[in-house]
Structure 1
Amino acid sequence: MKMGSAFLLIMVSILGTAIDGCNCKIAQFIFGDSLFDVGNNQYLAGSLAKANLPWYGIDYGDGLPNGRFTNGRTVSDIIGDATGMPRPPAFLDPSLTEDVILKIGVNYASGGGGILNETGTYFIQRLCFYKQIELFRGTQEMIRRKIGKQEADKFFQNARYVVGLGSNDFINNYKMPVYIDSWNYNDQSFLNYLIGTLRQQLQLLHKLGARKLMLLGLGPMGCIPLQRVLSTSGGCQEKTNQLAVRFNQAASKLIKELSKSLPNAGFKFADAYDIVRHVISNPGKYGFSNVDSPCCSFGPIRPALTCTPASKLCKDRSKYFFWDEYHPSDSANLIIADEIMKKLGFLFRGNHTVVPSP
Structure 2
Amino acid sequence: MNIPLALAFFTTVAMAVISADQTSAPSLVTFIFGDSLTEVGNNNYLTYSLARSDFPFYGIDYIDQKPTGRFTNGRTIGDIISEKLRIPSPPPYLSLNPNDDLILKGVNYASGGAGILNTTGLYFIQRMSFDDQIDYFENTTKVIKAKIGEKAANNLLNEAIYFIGMGSNDYINNYLQPFLPDAQQYAPDEFLEVLNSKLAEQFTRLYLLGARKMIFHGLGPLGCIPSQRAKSSRSLCLHQVNEWVIQFNSKVQKLINVLNVKLKNAHLTFADTYQDVLDLIENPSKHGFKVSNTSCCNVDTTVGGLCLSNARICKNRHEYVFWDAFHPSDAANAVLANRFFSKMFVAPNGLMAFAPNHKG
Do they fold alike, i.e. is TM over 0.5? yes
Aligned position for 1:101: 103
Give the whole-Å Cα distance in 1 for the aligned partners of 2:28 and 2:184. Answer: 44
Aligned position for 2:31: 29
CA contact (8 A) 1:41 1:67 kept: yes
Alpha carbons of structure 1 residues 34 and 12: separation in structure 2 relative to 1, 3 Å: farther
Q: Deviations over 1:234-273 (max 9, x none)?
A: 1001111111111110111111111111010011110000
Matched, 1:231 2:232: yes
Aligned position for 1:197: 198
Alpha carbons of structure 1 residues 13 and 167: separation in structure 2 relative to 1, 3 Å: farther
User: What root-mean-square deviation, in Å, do the aligned CA atoms of Structure 1 and Structure 2 show?
Assistant: 2.0
Cα drift, residue 17 of structure 1: 5.3
Cα drift, residue 45 of structure 1: 0.5
Aligned position for 1:312: 312
Cα drift, residue 145 of structure 1: 1.4
Aligned position for 1:88: 90
Aligned position for 2:4: none
Cα drift, residue 150 of structure 1: 2.0
Cα drift, residue 80 of structure 1: 1.7
Higher alpha-carbon deviation: 181-190 or 144-153: 144-153
1:59 alignment partner, one of 54, 58, 61? 61
Alpha carbons of structure 1 residues 14 and 353: separation in structure 2 relative to 1, 3 Å: same
CA contact (8 A) 2:75 2:330 kept: yes
What letter matches 1:175 in structure 2? L
TM-score by length of 2: 0.88
Aligned position for 1:334: 334
Aligned position for 2:141: 140
Give the whole-Å Cα distance in 1 for the aligned partners of 2:217 and 2:238. Answer: 21
Alpha carbons of structure 1 residues 326 and 183: separation in structure 2 relative to 1, 3 Å: same
SS in structure 2 of the partner of residue 132 of structure 1: helix
Alpha carbons of structure 1 residues 125 and 135: separation in structure 2 relative to 1, 3 Å: same
Q: Deviations over 1:85-116 (max 9, x none)?
A: 221000001467532111x2100000000000
SS in structure 1 of the partner of residue 74 of structure 2: coil
Aligned position for 2:253: 252
What letter matches 1:27 in structure 2? V
Matches within 5 A, 1:1-358: 14-15=16-17, 25-94=27-96, 97-102=99-104, 104-298=105-299, 301-303=300-302, 305-345=305-345, 352-353=352-353
Q: Deviations over 1:332-353 (max 9, x none)?
A: 111111112223436xxxx724
Aligned position for 1:6: none
TM-score by length of 1: 0.89
SS in structure 2 of the partner of residue 339 of structure 1: helix
Give the whole-Å Cα distance in 1 for the aligned partners of 2:61 and 2:219. Answer: 25
Q: Which runs of 5+ in 1 are unaligned?
A: 1-8
CA contact (8 A) 1:229 1:303 kept: no
Give the whole-Å Cα distance in 2 for the aligned partners of 1:148 and 1:97. Answer: 14
CA contact (8 A) 2:18 2:352 kept: no
Give the whole-Å Cα distance in 1 for the aligned partners of 2:64 and 2:98. Answer: 21
What letter matches 2:74 in structure 1? G
Cα drift, residue 162 of structure 1: 1.0
Alpha carbons of structure 1 residues 314 and 195: separation in structure 2 relative to 1, 3 Å: same
Cα drift, residue 13 of structure 1: 7.5
Alpha carbons of structure 1 residues 112 and 84: separation in structure 2 relative to 1, 3 Å: same
Alpha carbons of structure 1 residues 13 and 178: separation in structure 2 relative to 1, 3 Å: farther
Give the whole-Å Cα distance in 1 for the aligned partners of 2:59 and 2:74. Answer: 5
- Higher RCO by CA contacts (8 Å cutoff, separation 6 or greater): 1
Give the whole-Å Cα distance in 2 for the aligned partners of 1:310 and 1:24. Answer: 41
SS in structure 2 of the partner of residue 14 of structure 1: helix
What letter matches 1:293 in structure 2? T
Alpha carbons of structure 1 residues 13 and 86: separation in structure 2 relative to 1, 3 Å: farther
What letter matches 1:173 in structure 2? N
Q: Which runs of 5+ in 2 are unaligned?
A: 1-9, 356-360
